[in-house]
Amino acid sequence: MIVHHPRERPSPWATRKQSAARWKWALPFVAIEWMWEWAAYVLSNWSFLEVLDYLGTFSILVAVIFYFSESGDRIKQRHYQAWQVINTAQGKGGSGGRIEALQELNADKVPLVGVDVSSAFLQGLDLHGANLMRSDFSSADLRNSNFNSVDLTLSNLNSANFRNAHLDRAKFIQADLRSADLTGGSLVGADLSGAVLDDSDLSRSDLRDVAWQHIKSVKGTNIAEVRNAPAGFIEWALGNGAVENPVAGQ
């Protein structure tokens, strides 16, 4: 805010002219300066300008209040647009802006229950901690993604590519993981209770502390070179149809 101080009354023109008599060539400039001094003097004593200054400051305050009061509506609009991106691209390949949309919704703690991104190209997707119950990621490319602590209960992950993905503490309860590629993934502390892993690939994956005792089926599941397998898992898996096919490139 501008602080207004009343200015001193300028000296009469005769006095100013006399003080500049020695430099006649400068007289026009002195006259212009003298006129501006009078203009400043008059305006400095005009209360209307001070009122305008206060009104300007008040309008900024009002704008700030409205900005914050409408923040909820802006967030809702942003979420609506993100869902539009996801739903419009449903069933299509490629990303179509879905990586950014999904991550934005998850960052705002929006549940992603039932989201359908089947066949999408979503490499590097970061949805740590997301609620993805009953979602459809079938045939999606999720290599190098971060799915730590996600809830994928009852989700369709058939033929999904989770190579080198982070799946620590993820819940795959009753999930369909048939033909899923989990090669090199980290499933530390993951819950596979009731999951169907038929023909999936767990080779080189880290299975430390995995809840495996209630897996529904592992027929044809490749468990070659799994790391940190819990005691009894490998024997149980091989006895229930799992295989140890050599890892490609080895």
Q: Residue 245 phi/psi, 5° resolution?
A: -75, 140
Cβ(162)–Cβ(179) below 8 Å: no
Q: Rg of the Cα trace of the chain? A: 36
Q: Could you tell me if 156 and 135 are in contact, meaning their C-beta atoms sit under 8 angstroms apart?
A: yes
Q: How far apart are CA 112 and CA 82, in angstroms?
A: 12
User: In this predicted structure, what is the pLDDT of residue 156?
Assistant: 98
Distance of CA 210 to the CA centre of its chain: 29
What is the chain's pLDDT, residue by residue, as a tens digit (250 residues)? Answer: 555 556 677 777 667 666 666 666 666 766 777 677 767 666 666 665 566 666 666 677 666 665 565 556 678 888 989 999 999 888 777 888 999 999 999 999 999 999 999 999 999 999 999 999 999 999 999 999 999 999 999 999 999 999 999 999 999 999 999 999 999 999 999 999 999 999 999 999 999 999 999 999 999 999 999 999 999 999 999 999 999 998 765 4
**DSSP secondary structure of the chain:** -PPP-PPPPPPPHHHHHHHTTT-GGGHHHHHHHHHHHHHHHHHHT-HHHHHHHHHHHHHHHHHHHHHHHTHHHHHHHHHHHHHHHHHHTTT-SS-TTHHHHHHHHHHTT---TT-B-TT-B-TT-B-TT-B-TT-B-TT-B-TT-B-TT-B-TT-B-TT-B-TT-B-TT-B-TT-B-TT-B-TT-B-TT-B-TT-B-TT-B-TT-B-TT-B-TT--B-TT-B-TT-BSPPTTHHHHHHHTT-B-PPPTT-
pLDDT of residue 250: 46
Decide: 53 and 1 in contact? Cβ < 8 Å. Answer: yes
pLDDT at residue number 92: 77
Determine the pLDDT at residue 37: 72
For position 46, what pLDDT does the model report?
61
Nearest 5 degrees, angle CA 199-CA 204-CA 207?
85
pTM of the full predicted structure?
Answer: 0.70
Determine the Cα–Cα distance for residues 154 and 136; give it in Å rounded to an integer.
Answer: 9
Cβ-contact 184, 162 below 8 angstroms = no
CA gap 233, 236 in Å, rounded? 5
